[in-house]
Structure 1
Amino acid sequence: MLRFLRKLIVYHFFIFCLVLKAQIKEDTFSRPSESLKTEYREKKRIEEAYNLLKNNKEKEAYIIAHELLKKTLDNRSKTNVNLLLGYYFNSRQINDSSLFYTKKALKYNKLIKNDSLKNRTYSLGYNLFGINNKRIGLLEESRKWHRKGIDISQKFKEKNLYYTHTHGLALVYSEMGDYKSALNLFKECLTYKDNPTITYGSYINIGSIYAKLNDYKSSNDYYQKALKLSQQKENYHAIAVIKINLAINYQDQKDVDKATTLYNEVILLSEEKEYKHLSLIARLNKGSVYKDLKKYNDAEIAFYSALHDAIELGYLDDQKLIYDNLKDIFIAQNDYKKAFEFVTKSFEIKDSINKLQSDKEIDELEVKYKTLQKEKEIKVLQVENYNRKLELKNQDEAIKNLKLQQEVQKKENENKILSFQNASEKKLNEITLLKKDQEIQETKLIRQKGIKNTILYSFLILLVPVIGLLVTYYQKLQTQSELNKKQEEISGQKISSLLKDQELKLIKASIEGQDKERKRIAQELHDSIGGNLAAIKLQLNNPTNSNKEDYLKTINYQIDDTYEQVRSLSHNLIPKKFSKNNFCDVLEEYFSNIGKSSSLTTSFVVYPRIEIDFLEEILQIEAFKIIQELITNTIKHSKASSVELQLNLVDNVLSILFEDNGIGFNPNNNNDGIGFENIKSRLNKIYGTFHIDSRINRGTIINIEIPTLTTIANEI
């Protein structure tokens, strides 16, 4: 029997929290607070996001993180936000997204100056790489990242991170079947008492290894230690893992009733806490129990439900294992056609795993080749530096020769100075004569200056009134320009008010059209369907004694006619846009038309577009009407100049984020109007939630979440 055993994945998010706090404090105290108020607020928002994630408010943390990514952040803040998203998706076991955001975080971390916080971030990122690669079955890749994390944590004396990576490496060795190395590392982790998560994680995994070695007594002893500690800390994830491993022990000892009971408890707890990976393990092991008991129908149901989780989580090893078990079940039932289908799928998964491993090896070879090239370049630079040193030595010798030449020139200059002194004595006599001539000329210049001063003063007296006239003329021009600007502003305000009036008229016209349509529908119901029903009732109350067959045909014909009228009336009520076009295209066209016909600047973002287009038509209609109501309220009350709409579909939840930059309002003091009441009534029909974030002079953000699966199930 193939054993399905998955050990505890230790989440060390609290380490990331400590690192992030340290980064925020360091950046805050190293710079002037007044010049970086905006940056300080953003760092506070990052701290708020990781506190929310730590307190299991994951969706709020996710929204804040995506809001921060739209802003201009420094490299350290970008690193922290992306690493936070990596831990968010890791906690939800969405491996591709976790790896994507972790790579982005380490990319920005490279651009930060070297310090201890930078190295801690590298170690945290390597831990995420190790966990996610292990989940998808790439064990060699996972071992490589945990070894890197151990090296960097030892180098910079990060004790907690060292034991984090040691525990992760032990998990990889256990998966690879090297139980001796795994036990040594897990027991080393038990010496570290500062992190209870690592302690009971090590207890669980040591118990699992002893169970594999058929030492069930030692296995159960370690499980009981782990269970006691995890119950004290209220760690439900660890409790679920312990119960899985206890159930495996019972299964190996042929006590299938206790094993099945524990697997069912784990499935219920995992679905409540959204532990998809643990739910997958429990379903796999439950299927193997039914398979051993030859209850093939129950085993097939358990394996199919586990296959859905394995495909959603992207676990290739688990998918291959499920296909192999389904093959065995259908062979036992002599259904060789289905058995061949599952054998084919198993080989396809195996090929994809081998391809991923080979791609990683190719990447490593490319890295080695590039490093060799860089080493060659470094050697060339070293040779160039040596040549430059030789040139500098030659230059020093040349400088010494120049100094000797300068000393010789000094002696020659001294001889020249003596000859110049003799010549200067002769010239002194000549200078005394020249001074007398200069005194005579200075007296003449003084007289000329007096004449010039009188001319300048008279010119200045005439210039003062001319300047005064120019100043008054310039002031008049300024006042006239200010008046023109104010008139332009007034005319612009009038034009914007006229445009808003036109927009409101259009909205009123559409509302009047809806009222007319309602009256038409009521009249249609009263005249055609009501009349038919009244005629049917009259005939049923007054049956005739004529041929009963004709009598029943007449009533049946009238009922068919009434049914066709109801059917045609209901088809007219469904918007034709959604039946002929994609929902996202219709919504984008509507949103762009609003921007073209008004002064609003609109922005529309949707992801994933194809999955949202394939949502149920009823949900699309209600979402479209809710968005219409939000835009109507914005045009009427917000005085906004831009509107942004985002649609996201994550984990079968449609998220509608509507934001404007208007005047805002206080949600606590604002009584709900008809518009908000209509939105709430529509959301109640489809089990949606409605959150408003608005402040005076700060705009409004409205977040709506609609569960798609709940809506579809209730419609069915």
Structure 2
Amino acid sequence: MNARIIVFVLFLPFFFIIACSQEASLSNENNFKQKINKILKSEDIPELSKIDSLDRVLSAIGNDSLKARSLLKISYHYLKERDSSNFRKFNKEAMELSLQIKDSSSTAAAFWDLGEFYYSCTILDSSYFYYANSQKIYELTKNDDYSARLMLNMAIVQIDISDYTGSEVTTIQAINKLKPLKEYEQLYSAYNNLGIIFKELGNFKKSVGYYEVALSYLLKADREDLLPSIFNNMGVVHQKQGNYPKAKELYYKGLKLQEELPYPDMLAHAKLLDNLAYVKYLSGDTTEVLQDMHKALHIRKELKADSDIIINQLHIADFLLEERADTTSAIQYASQANSLSRKTRNRRDLLASLLMLSSIKKDSVLAYTKEYIAVRDTLEAEERAARNKFARIRFETDEFIAENKNLYSQRNVLVGISLGFALLGLSGLVIKNQRTKNRELSLKQEQQEANEKIFQLLLDQQNIKKASRQKERIRLSEELHDGILAKLFGLRLNLSSLNSQNDRTSLGQREKYLEDLKELGKEIRQLSHELNSPLFTSGTGYLSILEEVLSQNESSFTYQLEVEEEIQWEKISGSIKMHFLRILQEAVRNIQTHSEASFIKVSFELKDNILSYLIQDNGCGFSPQLKSEGIGLKNIASRTKAMKGRLKIESQINQGTKIKIQVPV
């Protein structure tokens, strides 16, 4: 009997045992996840009872790696809830267990969460220490994505202690890791960080340049919801330069875009509103300034954004003092800012409030000035000590990574030598076996080999055609995204800025932009002809793509795809099919990340020229009151709106989720 067949038959029972064991393990893990989710999301269980219930579930988990991941899930929940006591309890348990079982991934995650916790408490040296430890592990395990994200977190902490040079170096290191990965959203964050650094250093030209690079990556990442924030940052730079008209223009753009978003970011809205009001006041326009400042302050108080509240109160105090000569009210707002900055240990804002109070309360100017100098000296000393401490942490981290890389290299050499001997032994067996086979070969087998070669050539030819088609589609997609969409967005922004202007120059510019739109229309028509390929014209080809999206994730869930035979896919527009595809990909991503579903059903139904698209899962569901918070659901809503369709999302905790989209065709 053939040797390979004998080996296969001998080991076949073991393969079945392993497969069954893995399936049972996955089922067991899902069961524990559901129990933990149910306890955490329950509003009827008292907090102490919740902790007892969680401890009981955790004690029943026999697999240490699964237990470590479960502890991390629970600790992260309490981190988001700002429950420091329970976060520290479960994070400590997760860290101790992860270190004990030498689970590098869970250890890195525990360090990361602890860094986030200390940052929220403004304990910056501890935050930096744990970020650096987490980054060190991801660096050693060659996880460049997470390593770079942690570098960005470290760079932000460095900005907070005025270590701008160190922050610049760390940010550039992160960029070098992110560029090959094409992580556009993270690259936006990195260049936005560089913009902040050079704004603080007073290099406004370089700051604006980095903000513009950040904007370009934001467009590539398809995150229009973050555009208002980048326009706000650019506006602040122009405001600091004294270019108030340009700052106002950028703040207005940001507010207009914010209003167009399906789910506006109210904190960004408040920031833009307050900054616009303040720059209007600085430029001599007091129309509705105080009213807008109070609106912004109200939003910030509701969101408990302490740092933003302090800035807002100081803006109001400045306006009341200079424009209204209302010293009493100005002192009230400046004192509130002073108290909140002390409470939150925000020394930078404390300095700003002391400076404001010293300019208002002339009888206490000496006391405020003395305190200002004392706080400034303390802050500078602390920042200097923190910079030195961060430098030591970076040095020790680099040294640790270098030592471990050397150990890995030595281990790899030993493994390579062992594998070499093993391969030599196997080669001897293969050669001996091959010689035996060669003696038994007949003319018939030679003919069979020839036939196989011919068949392989046909397959290769088919693969070449397929690769060529795929390459062309990628080219068209990149041309559409990077060329046409960027131009269209730019034209839309420029036209919107001219809406309120009717002078001759503006009319001329508007005519030019309309001509540009005509040219853009020609480009789109050309692309639409090129897109008339089997991917979008063949119904079976399109459905096979949907099938592929689902089948790629069969390890996570099972699925069912139901499609009415009467649907003539070749008559459905390519844009609708593309939106459906992207929505399915987004839904699958949400299921993998949040839903924890084991089954997903996708169906299409056509009735009265209305194409109904249903995506249904049996996952953990979510509260309808919170559905607007996810960027994934925002993207689905945005795509449905683009198709002029109707979107209905039904979900209940532990009852799964239904996404139903109806589009006229």
TM-score range, shorter chain: 0.3 to 0.5
Larger C-alpha radius of gyration, 1 or 2?
1
State the TM-score, normalizing by the size of structure 1. 0.42
